[in-house]
Structure 1
């Protein structure tokens, strides 16, 4: 139950971070937004160091660095995917892959589910797809390139989660600090290479910093959840993060919640209840 609650908190924090980051990206090039969010995120993790401790063992450094590379790759692939579109097709593909791969890894590592979990887990995967699906955009079909990018983005997110799960349980926040430092370096290098394409607009500093801070909270909650529960359950609950984004968009921007997403939210609630019984 504790792992489930932590995973729900992680999902909510990821959803809020995506919402704020999306608003910030409307003000300026997305890389400018990340250049503010990344140091804010790293600052939060450094502040947590004295409180939660950090053991920079070779395993913590290795898996943390791998998660950071995967995080940077996921960011690049995801935004390129959504730029090509159609979003209402590609977003569910990314979300499903990001949930299904860690579930597969967890089950291959010997995790077992009770009867309620055997029903709740596939239902949660369906909910991930439904919640992340936007309004229909007609009969548009994604190109092969866009579909491959969506699969790659989902796989990169999944690799990040799996790498964090593999970190030593006694390493504290060392993997998070290492991963954030690596991903920040990658993003900084990318911004330097693409600096002529970033435009003159200034980023929304407060929104971007808040998104970075929430992303750190989400990573921490996921790490704690993965250390106290099964990856197969924690990953799929965390992948419900689009629900938080959808609900915030409804409350703050008065965006319409579409019927498919409402069904997904209902399916998510049932799935979480079943997994809590597993």
Structure 2
């Protein structure tokens, strides 16, 4: 059951990210993240009111940390989607999202197996290859010139790494919350993510106030994200954090598929090999 919940979480995250990323190309990525996280908070709060639980102060502390990771992950992921290719940013973010819970477990006393280390080694060239785009595509990535394309690709890669670290923190922190806590800690996590997004936008001098019709569609991404996060929390409560974290990190699969089918983004040979390595890394970490 834990595996099924984690995989469903990955599917829901991928769909939510695609919706949010698509809107981020027509509106401020930070405004999209604010509205999506707000709607997600409301959805979780409504459900939490009907779910019994006795959360402790420690549970809320972990939830607050998860909110920091969620806010940073969502903001940088959407910004990366707005400036780079979904098929680049999403897989790169997934590697960090998968590895951070593993590292957290190692620091907590868990010993990493040889397979896990092999997965980490496979992830490094995987990121490099996924981020590679042929010369004739660089102009399309950045919007006009080769130099602009390279800049847009680099920004997207950095955003993918930062988003992965944020989601990794989210996964690792949520994994510390027991099922006896109910869903109010998850509500706090979603609520904390909103001021985190706003704070990052202010520091980066980016627009974060939702304006215009396109950004309103971000309200759809919130409920889907809430379902994804809730499913992941249940998965960690019924199974191992490492396994749930890695399986949930498969979310780029649906994002890349939707990007290819709807946006007609091409996956080139080098990127394909990178995706295979990233997938291998995820599998090795899960098996290990």
Aligned to 2:48: 49
The Cα offsets for residues 151-190 of structure 1, whole Å up to 9 and x where unpaired, read as 4443222111111111233112122100111112333556
Relative to structure 1, the CA distance from residue 191 to residue 232 in structure 2 (aligned partners, 3 Å threshold; closer, same or farther) is closer
The Cα offsets for residues 91-127 of structure 1, whole Å up to 9 and x where unpaired, read as 6544322211211223454557999xx4898299649
Aligned to 1:40: 39
- 1:172-251 matches, cutoff 5 A: 172-188=182-198, 201-205=212-216, 207-251=217-261
Q: How many angstroms does 1:75 deviate by?
A: 3.4
**What is the alpha-carbon distance in structure 1 between the residues aligned to residue 76 and residue 151 of structure 2?**
19
The Cα offsets for residues 55-107 of structure 1, whole Å up to 9 and x where unpaired, read as 33201211111111222223344455667769877665443222112112234
Q: How many angstroms does 1:220 deviate by?
A: 0.8
**What is the alpha-carbon distance in structure 2 between the residues aligned to residue 253 and residue 159 of structure 1?**
30
**What is the alpha-carbon distance in structure 2 between the residues aligned to residue 48 and residue 125 of structure 1?**
40
Q: How many angstroms does 1:253 deviate by?
A: 3.3
SS at match of 1:13: helix
Relative to structure 1, the CA distance from residue 125 to residue 7 in structure 2 (aligned partners, 3 Å threshold; closer, same or farther) is farther
TM-score (norm 2): 0.73
Are 1:28 and 2:27 matched, yes or no? yes
Relative to structure 1, the CA distance from residue 17 to residue 128 in structure 2 (aligned partners, 3 Å threshold; closer, same or farther) is farther
The Cα offsets for residues 228-263 of structure 1, whole Å up to 9 and x where unpaired, read as 222222212111211110112233334334445656
**What is the alpha-carbon distance in structure 2 between the residues aligned to residue 21 and residue 182 of structure 1?**
19
Q: How many angstroms does 1:41 deviate by?
A: 0.6
Segments of structure 2 that go 5 or more residues without pairing to the other structure are 139-149
Aligned to 2:130: 133
- Is the contact made by 1:89 and 1:142 (CA closer than 8 Å) also made in structure 2? no
**What is the alpha-carbon distance in structure 1 between the residues aligned to residue 176 and residue 285 of structure 2?**
26
The alignment of Structure 1 onto Structure 2 pairs a total of residues equal to 273
- 1:35-184 matches, cutoff 5 A: 35-78=34-77, 92-109=91-108, 118=115, 122=119, 126=123, 129=126, 133=130, 136-138=133-135, 151-184=161-194
RMSD: 4.3
**What is the alpha-carbon distance in structure 1 between the residues aligned to residue 209 and residue 157 of structure 2?**
26
Task: Name which of structure 1's ranges 50-59 and 267-276 shifts more when overlaid on structure 2.
Answer: 267-276
- Is the contact made by 1:21 and 1:211 (CA closer than 8 Å) also made in structure 2? yes
Aligned to 1:253: 263
Q: How many angstroms does 1:22 deviate by?
A: 1.1
Segments of structure 1 that go 5 or more residues without pairing to the other structure are none
**What is the alpha-carbon distance in structure 2 between the residues aligned to residue 172 and residue 225 of structure 1?**
14
Task: Name which of structure 1's ranges 185-194 and 120-129 shifts more when overlaid on structure 2.
Answer: 120-129
**What is the alpha-carbon distance in structure 2 between the residues aligned to residue 233 and residue 266 of structure 1?**
18
TM-score (norm 1): 0.76
**What is the alpha-carbon distance in structure 2 between the residues aligned to residue 195 and residue 76 of structure 1?**
11
Task: Name which of structure 1's ranges 101-110 and 18-27 shifts more when overlaid on structure 2.
Answer: 101-110
